[in-house]
Amino acid sequence: MGGVCAQHENILTAKLDGQTKKIDIQQEFQYRNNSDSTLHTLYFNDWANAYSSKNTGLAKRFAEEYKKSLHLAKKDERGYTSITSVVDDAYRGLRWSRTEEDDILKIQLNSPLPPGESTQLFLTYTVQLPENKFTTFGYGKNNTYYLKDWYLTPAVFNGTWHLYSNKNLEDLYTGITNTTVNFSFPDGLYVASNFRVLGNTVFPNGQMAQLRGVDQKNAEIILTPTDRFSTHVTPEVTVITDLEASKYSELSQGLSINRVTEFLEEHLGEYPHEQLLVSKIDYEKNPLYGINQLPSFIRPYEEQFQFEMKFLKTALIKILDETLFLDPRKEQWLSDAIANYLMIAYVEKYYPDQKLLGKLSKIWGVRSFNFAKMDFNEQYPFLYMLMARKNIDQPLNTPNDSLIKFNQKIANKYKAGLGLSYLASYIGKEKVDESIKSFYEYYKLSRAKVLDFESILKRTTDKDINWFFRGYVTTDWKIDFKIKGVEKTDDSLKVTLKNKAGTNVPISLFGLRNDSVVSQYWFSDIKTQKTITIPKNDEERLVLNYDQKIPEFNQRDNWKSLGGFLSSNKKLKFTFFKDSENPYLNQVFYVPVLNFNLYDGWTPGLRLYNKTFLEKPFIYDVEPSYSFREKTFVGSGGLTYRKYLSKSGLYVANYRLSGSTYHFQENSRYTTITPSLSFGWRPANLISNKRDFLSFRYVNVLRDKDESLDDLETPPDYSVFNVRYSSRNPGIINYLSWFGDVQHANDFTKLAFELEYRKLFESNRQFNFRFFAGKFLRNKTTGYTDSDYFSFALDRPTDYLFDYGYLGRSEDSGIYSQQIIIAEGGFKSFMPERYRFANDWMATVNTSVNLWRWIEVYGDAGLVKNKGLNAKFVYDSGVRLNMLTDYFELYFPVYSNNGWEVSQPNYGEKIRFIITVSPKTLIGLFTRKWF
């Protein structure tokens, strides 16, 4: 075995109180110094204490993911560890303290501990379990318990201490230990564990189980009021599981478990522990994404396939976690690679024809989609590429706690498995299979490193595979090749391949005839461009990466037809709704749209666009619509080219030309044409939500007014050059955004600044603060019949740039005039006419604080200055029903410059509302925690 060393010995006596949800623990720990250094201090993981405050690593991680549950939790809901005493083998007290994030214990030894020697520690402490609403750990409302990483375990020292806080990443790094747990717990509960249960004794009002784990990390205990776990004794391993499938018989489940365990032993080797716990809790932490998002009554897969894949994935993760002692925070990618590679292999062996959408792919209306034609294993490159195309993919060796959630849960795991599959295609599947078996056999139950796997793999092949470990694993370099040209001779083809991304990795080339593969080749060392010669085999077309084993960035230029000029043209295909990318077609998507504003009424239309599930650099999106009220065509559209520049710092440039045409009054049309350019910055920490943008745009507005209506206050056509720098850091605990804005037109130049801050306190009270200031550097518009069209607005911006989603933008009475857009002055009351606009300068403050849940009180104050007049002090206050911030809100004015508004007539006309119906905006609420 690689790196075998004497183990720590650990004996725990633990008693769970079913009333208080506390575990009293006496722990006798024999720590063996397996390093070459003399130790004066020991560190122990105390991950149960990660729930103790809002300042732990776990609480901060939750805030990054827009979860506020732990931040708002009451003291009796939180978990924590209360240390009573820590003494050595001479019963002398040891000094201890906690590290900054509160979930690692530092113990100062009374005597130095030389290499190879051991010392005895006696620890007495109490663990208060949290409710399992924060994570799966703790107790549930139906008298269930899930205990994992619940007692003190030694941190790993191999020259340096590896001190990793609990961040709900399932990556505890602890020393290999032989552990005995004498566990007392309430009567009426059943115990399941990854440790071997040596015995279970029932006594009055309780019971005790003795558990034993040899060469294991930590005791995992699940307590349930019903005996829901079943035992399956297979030829390979004894399985304890509560995974189930309601429409799949127990006998069939047993046969499937046998098939999976046989496959795992064949491809990994013998499992060294006496039993394997495969729980529903573990599955739900790492589900089959896609399946778990669907309602339970929609079953896209056959019961056997679904059950086997659930069991296979959970068992694989569990086996590797229990037996491979890699650094789980920094080298997790290797375990992920092996697990997902074997999942890919399992589907290739037993379910080669399985489609990603399962039975749904055969339904009329669905089967025509390219997405419905994707094989099950094609999800691996697809979901990795989802992040790569957004430029938020991260190298495989990125530490777990530095990964964006989608990368940590899905994309990086899939890229890792796909990487081994890519390698297997290049050097031979049998060589990768044998390397995995050798690595597992030699390094299970002992310290292992990625370098150990690399050396085993390199010994199996003469081909250079440094590109895999030095490029694919350690960088976020993209892979992108194209067939630049093909020259035909009598008996051969000269093919010129171009490496567009510069990433020097092998690429596969396939020859196809009638969609059947007639030839296949691998080419390597194509740094920029290379011409290769292959024999003719009656190929009709050549395709790079046809089997999609390589996660290539862009496959739209991967093929060349050999049948003449016209046959090289991609066919045009119109598809209802969005689809996955088909590199062999020019795809145009269409979907009906329905918009509304007061003047156009309901405007049905057809949206035409080329945006697939994977992001593209060039996007067109147009929405021609018909206005039933105006009996004419309206709509909007745009062309966008997005260029990603780097991962951090200045990371993106957007070039856009957009336009729209609707009505702003009866029989009065406006048209906007806006070219724009913007640049974006983000920090090196991709988990950070902070973004900065600098944008330039030239807004051209053309207006055509009905002659029977009042004249326009300003010339009908105008253009405004707008420069804005904005910064946003939209945390759920602390929210901060600001912008500086300059607008220049023929008749005015103005500056504006806005700052918005929100703070969520532990009491669940949220304070909102907004400041706005605007100043005209010049203003010639006051000559237009004293127009305030371009002035700063206190309570309802005129929106002369047509940025806001007003339902009735020209209304000054009625329900549509009560819609509020929090911009410029941000006041909620309709102020007296002389205060509503400022043609010189304006400065306002808007505040609110919640009283109970979504009921808030607000107050606004400011100064309004018009030319030739003194500045006026303005104020208002009232009640805000903040059902969903920025999406659905109601404002009820109470007191302002108008006096007591609640006592005035027609109060219903004073109530203001915010409403957002944009599907794209609302979807952002649910996706933000992933990206």
203 Cβ contact partners less than 8 Å away, ≥ 6 residues apart: none
Is the pLDDT at 785 greater than 50, yes or no? Answer: no
SS3 content of the chain, % helix, strand, coil (to 5): 20, 40, 40
% of the chain exceeding 90 in pLDDT: 75
Query: What is the enclosing helix (H) or strand (E) of 495?
Result: strand 492-499
Residue 603: predicted pLDDT: 94
**First-residue to last-residue Cα distance in the chain:** 41
Per-residue pLDDT, averaged over 46-57, amounts to: 93
Torsion of CA 894, 900, 906, 911, to 10 degrees: -20
Is the pLDDT at 667 greater than 60, yes or no? Answer: yes
Is the pLDDT at 928 greater than 70, yes or no? Answer: no
Residue 569: predicted pLDDT: 66
Lowest mean pLDDT segment, chosen from 639-643, 773-777, 880-884: 880-884
Same structural domain for residues 508 and 651? no
CB contact at 8 A, 26 and 13: yes
Same structural domain for residues 545 and 657? no
Report which of residues 579 and 264 the model is more confident about: 264
300: left (phi over 0), alpha (psi -120 to 50) or beta: alpha
Query: What is the enclosing helix (H) or strand (E) of 418?
Result: helix 412-427
Give the domain CATH number at 529: 2.60.40.10
Kindly list the distances between the CA atom of residue 921 and the CA atoms of 663, 878, 915, 928, in Å, as whole numbers in the listed order.
Answer: 23, 27, 11, 11
- Go through 878-888 and write b for each residue having 16 or more CB atoms within 10 A of its CB, e for each that does not: bbbebeeeebb
Q: Is 149 inside any structural domain? A: yes
pLDDT in tens, 576-608: 888 888 887 888 999 999 998 999 999 999 999
Residues 743 and 777: their CA atoms lie apart, in Å, by: 10
Number of CB atoms found within 10 A of residue 131's CB = 18
Give the domain CATH number at 793: 2.40.160
pLDDT in tens, 734-762: 999 999 999 999 999 999 999 999 998 88
Residue 23: predicted pLDDT: 98
Residues 81 and 60: their CA atoms lie apart, in Å, by: 19
pLDDT in tens, 292-349: 566 666 778 899 999 999 999 999 999 999 999 999 999 999 999 999 999 999 999 9
Same structural domain for residues 805 and 664? yes
Strands (DSSP E) contained in 225-307 are 230-233, 238-241, 275-278
Q: Which of 47-56, 378-387, 691-700, 779-788 has maximum average pLDDT?
A: 691-700
Of 228, 244, 270, which closes a domain? 228
Same structural domain for residues 651 and 746? yes
Q: Of 738, 713, 741, which Cα lies nearest the Cα of 727?
A: 738
Could you tell me the maximum CA-CA distance found in the chain, to the nearest angstrom?
Answer: 100
Is the pLDDT at 410 greater than 80, yes or no? Answer: yes
Count of domains in the chain?
3
Per-residue pLDDT, averaged over 655-678, amounts to: 96
Kindly list the distances between the CA atom of residue 686 and the CA atoms of 166, 328, 630, 736, in Å, as whole numbers in the listed order.
Answer: 20, 20, 48, 18
Of 524, 544, 569, which closes a domain? 569
Residue 712: predicted pLDDT: 76
Residues 414 and 423: their CA atoms lie apart, in Å, by: 14
CA atoms within 13 A of residue 614's CA, in its CB half-sphere:
24
CB contact at 8 A, 811 and 710: no
CB contact at 8 A, 582 and 374: no
Q: Is 626 inside any structural domain? A: no
Residue 567: predicted pLDDT: 52
Q: Of 536, 550, 564, 380, which Cα lies nearest the Cα of 480?
A: 550
Residues 372 and 362: their CA atoms lie apart, in Å, by: 8
Per-residue pLDDT, averaged over 240-256, amounts to: 92
Same structural domain for residues 884 and 778? yes
Same structural domain for residues 538 and 674? no
Residues 109 and 99: their CA atoms lie apart, in Å, by: 16
Per-residue pLDDT, averaged over 472-487, amounts to: 92
385: left (phi over 0), alpha (psi -120 to 50) or beta: alpha
> How far does Cα 419 stand from its chain's mean position?
21
Residue 397: predicted pLDDT: 96
Residue 189 sits at the vertex; the CA angle it makes with 187 and 190, to the nearest 5 degrees, is 130
| Res. 3 pLDDT band, cuts 50 70 90 | very low
Per-residue pLDDT, averaged over 628-645, amounts to: 96
Is the pLDDT at 923 greater than 60, yes or no? Answer: no
Per-residue pLDDT, averaged over 199-218, amounts to: 92
What's the predicted TM-score (pTM) here?
A: 0.91
Same structural domain for residues 6 and 137? yes
Same structural domain for residues 553 and 680? no
Kindly list the distances between the CA atom of residue 236 and the CA atoms of 341, 343, 579, in Å, as whole numbers in the listed order.
Answer: 21, 18, 43
Q: Which residues pair with 653 in a beta bridge?
A: 643, 679
Residues 70 and 322: their CA atoms lie apart, in Å, by: 29
Residue 1: predicted pLDDT: 47
Per-residue pLDDT, averaged over 461-489, amounts to: 93
| Res. 4 pLDDT band, cuts 50 70 90 | very low
Kindly list the distances between the CA atom of residue 125 and the CA atoms of 10, 13, 22, 82, 148, in Å, as whole numbers in the listed order.
Answer: 15, 11, 10, 6, 17
Query: What is the enclosing helix (H) or strand (E) of 382?
Result: helix 379-388
Same structural domain for residues 658 and 550? no
**What is the pairing mode between strands 8-17 and 95-98?**
unpaired
Is the pLDDT at 489 greater than 50, yes or no? Answer: yes
Strands (DSSP E) contained in 218-274 are 221-224, 230-233, 238-241
CB contact at 8 A, 1 and 438: no
Same structural domain for residues 905 and 777? yes
The mean of the pLDDT values for the chain is: 91
Q: Is 609 inside any structural domain? A: no
Same structural domain for residues 678 and 540? no
Residue 295: predicted pLDDT: 67
Of 538, 569, 600, which closes a domain? 569
Give the domain CATH number at 216: 2.60.40.1730
CB contact at 8 A, 98 and 46: yes
Strands (DSSP E) contained in 791-916 are 792-793, 837-838, 841-852, 855-865, 872-884, 888-896, 899-900, 912-915
Number of CB atoms found within 10 A of residue 915's CB = 13
| Res. 267 pLDDT band, cuts 50 70 90 | very high
Q: Is 583 inside any structural domain? A: no
Coil/strand/helix, residue 668: strand
Is the pLDDT at 919 greater than 60, yes or no? Answer: no
Q: Of 805, 809, 796, which Cα lies nearest the Cα of 835?
A: 796
For 488, the domain range is 481-569
Burial-class residue 195 by CB neighbours within 10 Å (0-12, 13-18, 19+).
Answer: buried
Q: Is 420 inside any structural domain? A: no
CB contact at 8 A, 163 and 99: yes
Residue 205: predicted pLDDT: 85
Q: Is 525 inside any structural domain? A: yes
**What is the pairing mode between strands 8-17 and 177-185?**
parallel
Q: Is 107 inside any structural domain? A: yes
Q: Is 35 inside any structural domain? A: yes
